Each structure stands twice: as C-alpha cells, then as structure tokens.
Amino acid sequence: MRLFILISIIMSNQDKKDFAKHITKYLSEYLPHERNLSPNTIVAYRDAFVLFIDFMKIIKNKPVQNIGMSDLNKENINAFLSWIVSARNCSIATSNYRLAALLSFVRYVQYIDIGKLSQWQEVLSIQPKKEAGRTLNYLTVDGIKLLLEQPDITTVSGRRHLAILSLLYDTGARVQELADLTIGSLRISSQPYTVRIVGKGRKIRIVPLMNEQVEILKTYIADYRLENIDDTAIPLFFNNRREKLSRAGITYILLTYASQARIINDKIIPAVLSCHSIRHSKAMHLLQAGVNLVYIRDILGHTSIQTTDIYARSDSKAKREALQKAYIDVSPSTGVCGQWETDNNLRNWLKGLQK
C-alpha cells in the first residue's frame, strides 16, 4: 500500500513537471520554429494558457505549481470556456479562439504523451460554439470624414494622430499591423506609393497609398525628422520612449477623437467603436465604390474570398440598388390617383352605393 502511494506521488510530480515542460517547449520551440507562427499569434496562444492557469487557481483552487497534464481534460476545458464567457464577459468568438489554442497544444502533445491518448481524444472532440449572426460595425463615409476632421493639425501631436488614423483607414490594416509598421515599410519617395504590411502568419501584402495620404505621412515624417534615419527598422509610430505604439495606445487615440466627433453628430459615430470598425469601414466603402471583392481581399490580407464576402452580404445599400436595377414592374398600378378618382362614371356609381 505504501509502495502504491509512493508511486502515485512520483507520477503526480512527474505530471506537474511535464505540464510546465511541454508548454514551454510548445511556445518557445514548436510554434515559432516548426509552425513558423508570428510573434503576435504566439502571444495570443500564450494568453489562452495564462487564462486557463487563472481559471484553475480561481475556480479549481489549484495554483500553477500543482497543475499537471491530467488537468488538461475535457471537463476542465469545457468549464474554462464557460467561465471566460460568464465571468470575464468574453464573446463566443474569443472563447473559440482560446479553445483553438488549447486544441493546438493537445494535437502537439498527443504524440509525446501517448499514455494519455484517450484523454487527448476526448479533448479533441470539443467543438467550437456557434456564434449568433452579427452585423458589421462600421462608419459611413461621412462618419470617417467627421472623425478625421477632429485632430488639430495646427499642432505636431494633432498631425501625428491624423497620420495614424488616416493610415489605419486608407490601408484597412489591423491595429497590430499598423503598430508593427516601420520606416522601411513605406515607399513614398516616388510613385507608385505603397506600404508593405506584414499580416497574420507573417504574410506580406503591398497596399497602394493615395497622394493625399502620402502628403499627411510626409508632414508627419518631417515633424519627427524621420526622413534621414538610416535604421529603417525603427517603428513608424512610437511613444515617448521611442517604442512602437501598442494596440491599446492606438485604440485610445481613436476613441478620444470618436468622442469628440460624437458630440458634433452622434448619429454617424457609433456608440461602440474599435480599430477593427475602421477596417470594416474601408472594406464597405471600397465595395460600395464598385471595387471587386478580389481586390478588397488582397488589400485586407484575407486568405479566402469567402472571408471578404461578409461585406457583400452585409451591404444592404448595395443589395437594394441591385434589386432596383433588376426590378421588373409586374404589379398593378399603385399611383396616387386610383381609377375611381379619374373615371367620373365610376365615381358616380360608387357614390350611388351610399344612397
């Protein structure tokens, strides 16, 4: 009996050590080198495990040093997903992202820890939750114009903020993609003007820049004396410590000017706004201007045209105009004047019914 207890303790300790060892190797070696994932994606995967560890400590009363591979089971993961939705107010989409990170780790570890293959198969059977249909949150063209009119361009900081917001809109970039831009990302010394954006999965796309946008960028570059810098790897937009702006920093700038614009006209500035709303706005405006979905896909950096197709499905104005163009009038006349109003004999007959 004592031998059995001793073996159980040894196996439990090994289980805890394996949890730390496998996660460390997964995040530091497997994802960056074998999967070639971008640093931003690895951070997102890491955050999923940080949340899972928090869940185990808060709900299961199990600190990180006591968590083992056996704790990464179907029951705990389902409870964890419910917890981040109910207790942390995460969306179903966020819950599915966290699940995807955990499932990726389990697929990796099932070939290493074969002794728990049955446990891994149970975990891999967990399905993502279906999301309710969502409407895209975007600004109209007038809304974007009002937003971009808010920075005070008589000041250096105002011109900097205008450069950030206008580039966010004109490129349709994700907020992290904008934060990752460097001086070398721009090609504005001669036409055609372009910006080189590194997107998800380290995929690179070249997005054209309009003359007006280039003038705003050149003014910003002159203000901060960036035109003669040899190190093209420095961030294009940075904070007071010369570090690249964070996503939170860019979001703060957006929300500050959105609040100002909302005071002027709250009907065209949504109450809930994010940097991704600006990306949606660019896509919708390109679609409404008649730009082919394939080109919009390339500008946004979507892998599949099916992802971009969400804008076509959401554009009620385009749907209405298409229906109007294709409409064939087969209905009876519904003009202002009915037949009884223009036919005197019929009118007299109808009046006679009242006698």
Residue that finishes a domain, picked among 61, 95, 124: 124
Residue that finishes a domain, picked among 124, 159, 187: 124
To the nearest 10 degrees (0 to 180), the angle between helices 275-288 and 316-326 is 10
Give the residue with greater pLDDT, 324 vs 304: 304
Q: What is the pLDDT of residue 290?
A: 83
Q: What is the pLDDT of residue 242?
A: 87
- Asked if 175 and 252 sit in the same domain, the reply is yes
Q: Is residue 344 part of a domain?
A: no
Residue that finishes a domain, picked among 74, 99, 124: 124
| pLDDT class of 162 with cuts at 50, 70, 90 | very high
- Asked if 26 and 117 sit in the same domain, the reply is yes
Average pLDDT, the chain: 83
244: domain range?
141-321
Q: Does residue 341 have a pLDDT over 70?
A: no
Average the pLDDT over each of 91-95, 96-100, 234-238, 313-317 and give the range with the smallest value: 313-317
Q: What is the pLDDT of residue 41?
A: 86
- Asked if 186 and 117 sit in the same domain, the reply is no
- Asked if 170 and 255 sit in the same domain, the reply is yes
- Asked if 116 and 168 sit in the same domain, the reply is no
Q: Is residue 17 part of a domain?
A: yes
Q: Is residue 113 part of a domain?
A: yes
Q: What is the pLDDT of residue 327?
A: 45
Q: Express each pLDDT in 195-249 by its tens digit.
A: 999 988 788 999 999 999 999 999 999 999 998 887 888 999 999 888 999 999 9
- Asked if 101 and 160 sit in the same domain, the reply is no
Q: Is residue 276 within 8 Å of 263, Cβ to Cβ?
A: no
Joined together, the tokens standing for residue 307 give 């992802």
Q: What is the pLDDT of residue 17?
A: 80
Average the pLDDT over each of 55-59, 71-75, 295-299, 326-330 and give the range with the smallest value: 326-330
Tell me the pTM: 0.68
Q: Does residue 156 have a pLDDT over 90?
A: yes
- Asked if 237 and 284 sit in the same domain, the reply is yes
* Domain CATH code at residue 96: 1.10.150
Q: Is residue 328 part of a domain?
A: no
Q: Express each pLDDT in 36-70 by its tens digit.
A: 888 888 888 999 999 999 999 999 999 988 999 99
- Asked if 175 and 307 sit in the same domain, the reply is yes
Catalytic (active-site) positions: 174, 200, 276, 279, 302, 311
Q: Is residue 345 part of a domain?
A: no
- Asked if 154 and 266 sit in the same domain, the reply is yes
Q: Does residue 142 have a pLDDT over 60?
A: yes
- Asked if 208 and 120 sit in the same domain, the reply is no
Across 168-186, average pLDDT: 93
Going by the DSSP 8-state scheme, the letter that residue 62 receives in this structure is -
Q: Does residue 4 have a pLDDT over 60?
A: no
Q: Is residue 350 part of a domain?
A: no
Give whole-number Cα distances, 196 to 38, 184, 193, 223, 225, in Å.
16, 8, 10, 22, 21
How long, in residues, is the chain? 355
Number of domains in the chain: 2
Average the pLDDT over each of 102-116, 120-134, 265-279, 323-337 and give the range with the smallest value: 323-337
Give the residue with greater pLDDT, 341 vs 345: 345
* Domain CATH code at residue 288: 1.10.443.10
Q: What is the pLDDT of residue 10?
A: 40
| pLDDT class of 124 with cuts at 50, 70, 90 | very high
Question: Whose CA is closest to 236, among 177, 151, 174?
Answer: 177
Q: What is the pLDDT of residue 153?
A: 94
Q: Is residue 71 part of a domain?
A: yes
Contacts of 324 (CB under 8 A, 6+ apart): none
Q: Does residue 15 have a pLDDT over 90?
A: no
- Asked if 77 and 148 sit in the same domain, the reply is no
Give the residue with greater pLDDT, 131 vs 301: 301
Across 119-131, average pLDDT: 91
Q: What is the pLDDT of residue 123?
A: 95
Share of the chain above pLDDT 90, in %: 55
Q: Is residue 166 within 8 Å of 216, Cβ to Cβ?
A: yes
- Asked if 82 and 168 sit in the same domain, the reply is no
Q: Is residue 349 part of a domain?
A: no
